[in-house]
Amino acid sequence: MNEIFQALRSEPIGGTKDTICLLVIAAGFISAFPPMSGYIAGYSHGLTFPVVGQIKIPGTLAAELSLMLAAAVAAYHLTYSILKKSRSRFVIPTSCKVESSDPMDYPPNESNGLILGYTTDDGTPITISDEDICRHGLIEGQTGMGKSVFGKSLMFQQIQRGGGLLFVDGKLDSDNIQELYEFAVYCGRGKDFQVINPGQPEKSNTYSPILYGEPDEIASRIISLIPSTTASAGADYYKQTSNLALVVFISALQEESPATVQQWIEEAKKTNTPLEYLNSNRIKGRAFNFLDLALLTMNEGVLNNLMKTINQLAPNSMARKNLSIFLEQYAKDQNLDGTITKLNVDLKRLKEMLGGIGARMQQFGSGNFGQVLNSYNPEVKMYEAIRDSKITYVALPTMGKDVAAQNLGKMVVADLRTSISWLQTNKEDRPKIPFLAFLDEMSSYSTEALNIMFEQSRSARVALLPAIQTDSGLTNISEDFAERILANTELKVFFRLSSQDTALKASELIGETTRVLKSTSAGSGVSASAQALQIGPNKALSDSANFGTGEREQAEPFVHQDVIKSLQPGECVILKSPRVWNIRVPMIELSPEIRRAIGPLRINHAKDNIARIKTFDAMKDVDDYILQAQRARVRPAKGETKGKDKDIPKDQPKAKEVNAEGYSELMPLPENAFEGIGE
Q: What angle do CA 352, 357, 363 make, to 5 degrees?
A: 120
DSSP one-letter code for 134: T
CB 360 within 8 A of CB 238: no
Q: Which residues of 463-475 are buried (b: 16+ CB within 10 A; e: fewer)?
A: bbbbbbbbbebbb
- Residues forming beta bridges with residue 119, ordered by sequence position: 583
Residue 669, pLDDT score: 40
Instruction: Tell me the average pLDDT across 342-348.
Output: 76
Q: How far is it, in rounded angstroms, from Cα 227 to Cα 542?
A: 82
Q: How far is it, in rounded angstroms, from Cα 538 to Cα 535?
A: 9
pLDDT above 60 for 463: yes
Rounded percentage of the chain residues whose pLDDT exceeds 90: 33
User: Using 50, 70 and 90 to split pLDDT, how confident is the model at 662?
Assistant: very low
CB 290 within 8 A of CB 374: yes
Report which of residues 460 and 402 the model is more confident about.
Answer: 460
User: Using 50, 70 and 90 to split pLDDT, how confident is the model at 163?
Assistant: very high
Tens-place pLDDT, residues 40-56: 666 566 566 566 556 66
CATH 3.40.50.300 domain locations along the chain: 144-207+382-496+567-602
Residue 657, pLDDT score: 41
Amino acid identity of residue 651, one-letter, is: D
Peptide bond before residue 397 is cis, with ω within 30 degrees of 0: no
pLDDT above 50 for 475: yes
Report which of residues 223 and 35 the model is more confident about.
Answer: 223
Amino acid identity of residue 569, one-letter, is: P
Q: How far is it, in rounded angstroms, from Cα 402 to Cα 379?
A: 25
Instruction: Tell me the average pLDDT across 189-204.
Output: 92
Instruction: Tell me the average pLDDT across 225-235.
Output: 77
Q: What angle do CA 79, 81, 85 make, to 5 degrees?
A: 110
Q: How far is it, in rounded angstroms, from Cα 538 to Cα 529?
A: 9
Instruction: Tell me the average pLDDT across 308-313.
Output: 88
Average pLDDT, the chain: 80
Burial-class residue 255 by CB neighbours within 10 Å (0-12, 13-18, 19+): buried
CATH superfamily of the 144-207+382-496+567-602 domain: P-loop containing nucleotide triphosphate hydrolases (3.40.50.300)
Report which of residues 479 and 635 the model is more confident about.
Answer: 479
pLDDT above 70 for 178: yes
Residue 339, pLDDT score: 46
Distances (CA, A) of 406 to 198, 361, 399, 510: 12, 13, 10, 32
CB 285 within 8 A of CB 215: no
Report which of residues 18 and 340 the model is more confident about.
Answer: 18
Tens-place pLDDT, residues 283-297: 778 899 999 999 999
Tens-place pLDDT, residues 236-267: 888 898 999 999 999 999 888 777 767 767 77
Q: How far is it, in rounded angstroms, from Cα 573 to Cα 564?
A: 8
* 3-state SS track over 351-405: HHHHHHHHHHHHHHHCHHHHHHHCCCCCCECHHHHHHCCCEEEEECCCCCCHHHH
User: Using 50, 70 and 90 to split pLDDT, how confident is the model at 281?
Assistant: low
Q: Determine if residue 226 is left, alpha or beta; phi over 0 gives left, psi from -120 to 50 gives alpha, anything else beta.
A: beta
Q: How far is it, in rounded angstroms, from Cα 481 to Cα 271?
A: 42
Residue 679, pLDDT score: 36
Pairing of strands 512-530, 491-494: unpaired
Instruction: Tell me the average pLDDT across 298-326.
Output: 89
Dihedrals phi, psi of 340, to nearest 5 degrees: -95, 100
Q: Among 11-25, 28-42, 289-303, 534-548, where is mean pLDDT lowest?
A: 28-42
Rounded percentage of the chain residues whose pLDDT exceeds 70: 77
Helical (H) or strand (E) element with 166? strand 165-169
Tens-place pLDDT, residues 540-589: 777 888 888 877 777 888 888 999 998 999 999 999 988 999 999 999 99
Q: How far is it, in rounded angstroms, from Cα 323 to Cα 404?
A: 30
pLDDT above 60 for 677: no
Residue 235, pLDDT score: 83
Q: Among 190-194, 395-399, 476-480, where is mean pLDDT lowest?
A: 395-399
C-alpha closest to that of 207 among 425, 409, 507:
409
Pairing of strands 435-440, 165-169: parallel
Tens-place pLDDT, residues 441-454: 898 888 888 888 99
pLDDT above 90 for 622: no
C-alpha closest to that of 244 among 325, 361, 157:
325
User: Using 50, 70 and 90 to split pLDDT, how confident is the model at 602?
Assistant: very high
| Coil/strand/helix, residue 670 | coil
Q: How far is it, in rounded angstroms, from Cα 161 to Cα 585?
A: 19
Residue 448, pLDDT score: 83
CB 442 within 8 A of CB 147: no
